[in-house]
Structure 1
């Protein structure tokens, strides 16, 4: 361990693990310096470079941890919101849907699919898995109930969200209340798939 590194570790114990990681796994010198650039520095400059790099790495690590905490908190808040809407949401805020008939775009191309059912609340996005009627292939699609509560959006996952990748089915108000009943064809996703959604009172 060179003098600069020893000095930093001894003076800044909280950064000791960062420095050890830098020595064992990271570049030989801070900030990608070449051997010549490093050797041209004074001991104080080397010390400052070690400190600056360790602080930068620690800041990045802290920022990542904070981002993960925020993501977890937002996910938990969304789960609570969904549970509350299902239990006591206003009429039209929960949709119970089924997809039947037609074909979906599996790995081998458009093939017949098994019926699929899902329940979704306004503002929610979820993954729905479709099963091919033979050979056991599956296709994950992204389903969203718009925040306005007027439509359900279907997208093929892992593709760009263009109009060719996604399709919208709009809610209608009929004789017996809200419903969606339509046949959907969406490029790279569905061909003549029948969608039916009902909207139960207060999610039940």
Structure 2
């Protein structure tokens, strides 16, 4: 009985070791692993499997909470957009544009977006007739300026205007290094209204 059990343990350890020939459980090095008996090796593998399962569960829960938080933020933005007063939201369209895509400037589809005062909106500039090729920019609005920036960088291009000008609509040529260039048109509604332009995904 003992010999059969020992043989099964040895076989199990061999099979498990075959799946991870260059790593050992519980942070052990090769010498530490070699000093263990087959029974101890099997126990260590089982402990590692339990730890791995717990880590997968932790990551899944973290992903769920992050998705939930993202949805809450999206709901908050949509509520603010619906209830925004004069000057609280700017609507923009980037047209006659090129995006820096695949290492070169290429014709891009027009893209519309809405940005709340003090908020940041990530937009995607997509190649015309090839929407899978895209580049991102971040749009900011502070009530007097609309900025398009390279994500995680300090490089921005700015459309500056007074509130009166924005109410009438302002158009500027913009050139954001290695991201996009074209004509940016922005305006602010003078009354509460829903977003008028197609927003980026």
- TM-score normalised to structure 1 length: 0.64
Segments of 5+ residues of structure 1 without an aligned counterpart are 7-19
**Alignment match of 2:148 (pick from 141, 144, 154):** 154
The aligned runs of 1:1-204 (5 Å cut-off) are 1-2=8-9, 25-27=19-21, 29-31=24-26, 33=28, 37-42=32-37, 45-46=40-41, 49-101=44-96, 103-107=98-102, 109-122=104-117, 123-132=119-128, 138-146=133-141, 148=142, 151-155=145-149, 161-164=152-155, 166-170=156-160, 172-174=162-164, 177=167, 180-191=170-181, 193-200=182-189, 201-204=191-194
Q: CA deviation at 1:188?
A: 1.3
The alpha-carbon distance between structure 1 residues 40 and 178, as it changes in their structure 2 partners (threshold 3 A), is farther
The alpha-carbon distance between structure 1 residues 35 and 101, as it changes in their structure 2 partners (threshold 3 A), is closer
**Secondary structure, in 3 states, of the residue corresponding to 2:192?**
helix
**Secondary structure, in 3 states, of the residue corresponding to 1:174?**
helix
Q: In the alignment, is the contact (CA less than 8 A) between 1:172 and 1:180 conserved in 2?
A: no
Query: Cα RMSD between the aligned structures?
Result: 3.8
Q: CA deviation at 1:181?
A: 3.4
The 1-side partners of 2:18 and 2:162 are apart by: 63
The 2-side partners of 1:23 and 1:151 are apart by: 61
Matched residue pairs, number? 181
- TM-score normalised to structure 2 length: 0.65
The alpha-carbon distance between structure 1 residues 26 and 131, as it changes in their structure 2 partners (threshold 3 A), is same
Segments of 5+ residues of structure 2 without an aligned counterpart are 1-7, 195-201
**Secondary structure, in 3 states, of the residue corresponding to 1:82?**
helix
**Secondary structure, in 3 states, of the residue corresponding to 1:101?**
strand
